[in-house]
Amino acid sequence: MKLSYHHLIIPMKSPFITSFGSSSNKDVLVFQANEGNITAFSESVTNENPFYGPEDNYTALYMIKSYLADKIRDLPLPEEFNERARQIKGNNMAKAAMEMLLYDFHAKKEGASLVKYFKKEIRGYANAGVSLGIDDPNITLKKIDDAIQRGYKRLKVKIKKGYDLELLSKIRDTFPEIPLSVDANSDYTKNDFQTIKSMDRYELEYIEQPLYHDDLYYHAQLAKLIETPLCLDESITSPELAQNAIDMGACSIINIKPGRVGGLDSSLKIAEIARNNNAHCWVGGMLETGIGRAFNISLASLNQVDFPGDTSPNDRYFEHDIVNKTFSMENGTIKPMDGPGIGVKIDPGTVKKFTVGEGVIFE
Ligand code: OSB
Ligand code: MG
């Protein structure tokens, strides 16, 4: 088996701004496994800095080269890899990049699409919502209008301290009825509870990750104080924490990102936990290339994922994505590829154009 990677910097159509920073390029690691006539792919959702979560591209590559790659050398089933990787704490995005490579490989080996390979109840399409970065409020209003025209089923706007209530009141003045949510990417603290409470009047579907990334306790306190449901993103890094968070009332909705939770096996378990506990879940996004996007859309096509996710077609982000096939949206839904595996592969010419580093980890 040959394991190799490309480090790419891909220009994005427009910068994406969150409470923690701005990105105008997608700085990403794409992995490739070759064995016989099968080529499998995965993407690490780390980027150039540790501002969303604790890892970045360099820590991920270091962990993969030093500890994780060796555990996939014999191409074990994903569950077996997760068992082997358990002794390594954290570094979920690095682990996920290896685990998802194995998912794509084994689905391809069975000749099955990734969705079929999950062996879960299939809805067959992802319900698409959109995540709008921080911008001038008038531009955000235009983007919302545009997203509604395109058919998105849920609108989410990024907020941060001081860029919240006025924005929401403008949005609700113009669009009183749209399914709207907000994502603070952990910008608020317990001193901001009253500000967050005053969001109740905007009838949001939920508030995503208002407080610190590794906090559950204050989220549970906040949930008691407000009417609006809480959704957690950054804080949920494992199925165990998903169960803890629901049990203590810290959230009733979970944004599942396979990278953040260490892979697809954990993602499936979290979706199951949500269903068994009267909670809800949806699949988030990390501005992935067509490789990571294909995994997300497959996951979001399962029945257990009951809320619309942050799942857009490739052309929302990139003029030129690195894949041979792109997704399109119809009536606010996106269908996964037919497979085998994730059903897309890298386009070598485009990859070459955006490659800033590459390497063979083993052969
Ligand atoms: O919090 O969901 C988030 C992008 C980068 C880091 C964190 C987040 C996001 C998004 C983008 O919201 C969603 C997408 O991929 O469209
Ligand atoms: Mg989020």
Do the beta carbons of residue 167 and residue 135 sit within 8 Å? no
Where residue 123 falls among pLDDT bands split at 50, 70, 90?
A: very high
Asked about 156 being catalytic, the answer comes back as: no
What pLDDT score was predicted for residue 31?
98
Catalytic residue among 26, 108, 153, 257: 257
Residue 157 sits in the same domain as residue 285 = yes
Please classify residue 192 by burial: count the beta carbons closer than 10 Å to its beta carbon, then call 0-12 exposed, 13-18 middle and 19+ buried.
Answer: middle
Q: Per-residue pLDDT tens for 206-241?
A: 999 999 999 999 999 999 999 999 999 999 999 999
Domain span at residue 207 reads: 116-334
Residue 151 sits in the same domain as residue 294 = yes
Q: Which of 22, 150, 286, 321 to mutate to test the pocket of ligand 1 (most atoms within 8 A of CB)?
A: 286
Between CA 358 and CA 335 the distance in angstroms is: 31
Residue 122 sits in the same domain as residue 151 = yes
Assign 3-state DSSP to the chain and report helix, strand, coil percentages, each to 5: 35, 25, 40
Within a domain: 248? yes
Residue 103 sits in the same domain as residue 144 = no
Within a domain: 357? yes
Within a domain: 340? no
Within a domain: 169? yes
Residue 57 sits in the same domain as residue 126 = no
The minimum-distance atom of ligand 1 relative to the CA of 133 is 12
Residue 165 sits in the same domain as residue 288 = yes
Phi, psi of 222 (to 5 degrees): -60, -40
CATH of the domain at 187: 3.20.20.120
Residue 236 sits in the same domain as residue 267 = yes
287 CA to middle of ligand 1, Å? 6
Catalytic residue among 95, 108, 156, 158: 158
Asked about 89 being catalytic, the answer comes back as: no
The minimum-distance atom of ligand 1 relative to the CA of 158 is 12
CATH of the domain at 40: 3.30.390.10
Nearest CA to ligand 1 atom 4: 286
Do the beta carbons of residue 18 and residue 134 sit within 8 Å? yes
Within a domain: 342? no
* pTM score: 0.97
What pLDDT score was predicted for residue 263?
98
Do the beta carbons of residue 299 and residue 288 sit within 8 Å? no
Q: 131 CB contacts (<8 Å, ≥6 apart)?
A: 156, 158, 183, 285, 310
Within a domain: 339? no
Between CA 346 and CA 292 the distance in angstroms is: 11
Residue 70 sits in the same domain as residue 145 = no
Residue 169 sits in the same domain as residue 27 = no
Q: Which of 137, 184, 131, 178 is nearest to 161 (CA)?
A: 184
Where residue 257 falls among pLDDT bands split at 50, 70, 90?
A: very high
Average pLDDT of span 145-170? 98
Residue 127 sits in the same domain as residue 265 = yes
How many domains does the chain divide into?
2
What pLDDT score was predicted for residue 333?
98
Between CA 208 and CA 253 the distance in angstroms is: 9
Within a domain: 258? yes
Average pLDDT of span 332-348? 97
Where residue 14 falls among pLDDT bands split at 50, 70, 90?
A: very high
**Least-confidence region, from 17-26, 36-45, 77-86, 200-209:** 17-26
Residue 129 sits in the same domain as residue 238 = yes
Phi, psi of 187 (to 5 degrees): -85, -20
What pLDDT score was predicted for residue 120?
98
- List residues near ligand 1 (CB under 6 A): 18, 52, 131, 183, 185, 233, 284-287, 310, 312
Within a domain: 356? yes
Where residue 141 falls among pLDDT bands split at 50, 70, 90?
A: very high
Residue 44 sits in the same domain as residue 177 = no
